[in-house]
Amino acid sequence: MSRPHPVQVIAVTGGKGGVGKSNVSVNLGIALSQMGRRVVLLDADLGLANIDVLLGITAARNLSDVLSGECDLRDVLVNGPGGIKIVPASSGTQRMTQLSPMEHAGLINAFSELGDQVDVLIVDTAAGISESVVSFLRASQELLLVVCDEPTSITDAYALIKLMNRDYGVNRFRILANQVRNEQEGKHLFGKLTRVTERFLDVALQYVGMVPYDEAVRKAVQRQRAVLDAYPRAKASLAIKALADQVDSWPLPSSPRGHLEFFVERLVGTSA
């Protein structure tokens, strides 16, 4: 048997809805795929503006069919733009912490079979800090928080950081400023967030850069296309490519935490 293949699991989150999590997830996935990484995007948001809608995808099956044993994870994967594969949203993702032992074993199997065909798993989380969102965050190695320059985005990001730090001992968070005007505004926003976290929490926030506010993103959303796919030279697309370069330089998970089976085990709450 071959050694399990390390997979980088990145949760894209941020607390508030509408900050750009889904757009960042999809486009970061495409950019990494263009760099030769095999990317799977797990849509963990059942909300209205989920990835199916964003990309105009109709999914015949979803994760709940895997949980009920009706099909394999492979049958659920949908081909997305730029070579990414998508696990569509389903009610299954809302009850990951309440699986029956059968479903639990099935899910671990499903992901371990996929393990040698994926380098990066991006998890697009729902808004808020529900139990379901937290379970995905706990299971991921990298937490990428998308924030915009609005008081509610900053307070929601702070609440999420505080919860993950106090209750689960997470102390490293990656911060992406989205929908800002320029580099300076992105850094300024990061500064606002670090001022509150440094005062009250023992965490390390790492700034990974910014994606500018760009009409091309809105136009792409209207056309149900990814901006990187429809407008590859747009400012937002170039910023996402720069982000992907950074993400690609993040340390690879070291065994055994970095394997997909362990992602699922942490997800369903059997290992700490």
Ligand X SMILES: Nc1ncnc2c1ncn2[C@@H]1O[C@H](COP(=O)(O)OP(=O)(O)O)[C@@H](O)[C@H]1O
Binding site for ligand X (CB under 6 A): 17-23, 49, 178-179, 211, 213-214, 217-218, 221, 236
Q: Kindly identify the residues of this chain, within the stretch 145-204, that bind Mg ion according to CB under 5 A.
A: none
Nearest Cα to Cα of residue 135 among 266, 261, 17: 266
Looking at the Cβ atoms of 20 and 186, the one nearer to ligand X is 20
Picked from ligand X, Mg ion, none, the partner binding residue 27 (CB below 5 to 8 A depending on kind) is none
| By CB under 5 A, residue 132 contacts Mg ion | no
**Taking the complex as a whole, how short is the minimal distance between the CB of residue 23 and ligand X, in angstroms?**
4
The CA-to-CA distance between both ends of the chain, in Å, stands at 27
Q: Which of 59, 31, 67, 65 is nearest to 43 (CA)?
A: 59
Minimum CB separation of residue 18 from Mg ion in Å reads: 8
Q: How far is the CB of 122 from ligand X (least distance, A)?
A: 12
Q: Which is nearer to ligand X, 6 or 14 (CB)?
A: 14
Q: Which does 23 bind (CB under 5 to 8 A by kind): Mg ion, ligand X, none?
A: ligand X
Q: How far are the Cα atoms of 107, 188, 201 from residue 67, in angstroms, in the given order? A: 6, 44, 38
Residue 43 or 119 having the CB closest to ligand X: 43
Residue 21 or residue 85: which is nearer to Mg ion going by CB? 21
Nearer to Mg ion (CB atom), residue 21 or residue 61? 21
Token pair of 21, please? 């999590």
Give the nearest distance from C-beta 124 to ligand X in angstroms.
7
Q: Which of residues 27-86 bind Mg ion (CB under 5 A)?
A: 45
Q: Considering beta carbons, is residue 8 or 25 the nearer one to ligand X?
A: 25
Among positions 8, 22, 141, 179, the unique one binding Mg ion when judged by CB under 5 A? 22
Find, among 123, 121, 24, 41, the residue nearest to 79 by Cα: 41
Query: C-beta of 219: minimal distance to Mg ion in Å?
Result: 18
Report the side by side order of strands in the sheet with 8-13.
78-79, 85-87, 39-44, 120-125, 8-13, 142-147, 172-180, 204-212
Which does residue 213 touch among Mg ion, ligand X, none (CB within 5 to 8 A, set by kind)? ligand X
Question: Is 166 within 8 Å of 200 (Cβ atoms)?
Answer: no
Sign of CA dihedral 164, 165, 168, 173: positive
Q: Residue 236: name its binding partner from Mg ion, ligand X, none (Cβ under 5 to 8 Å by kind).
A: ligand X
Residues forming contacts to Mg ion in the complex (CB under 5 A) are: 21-22, 45
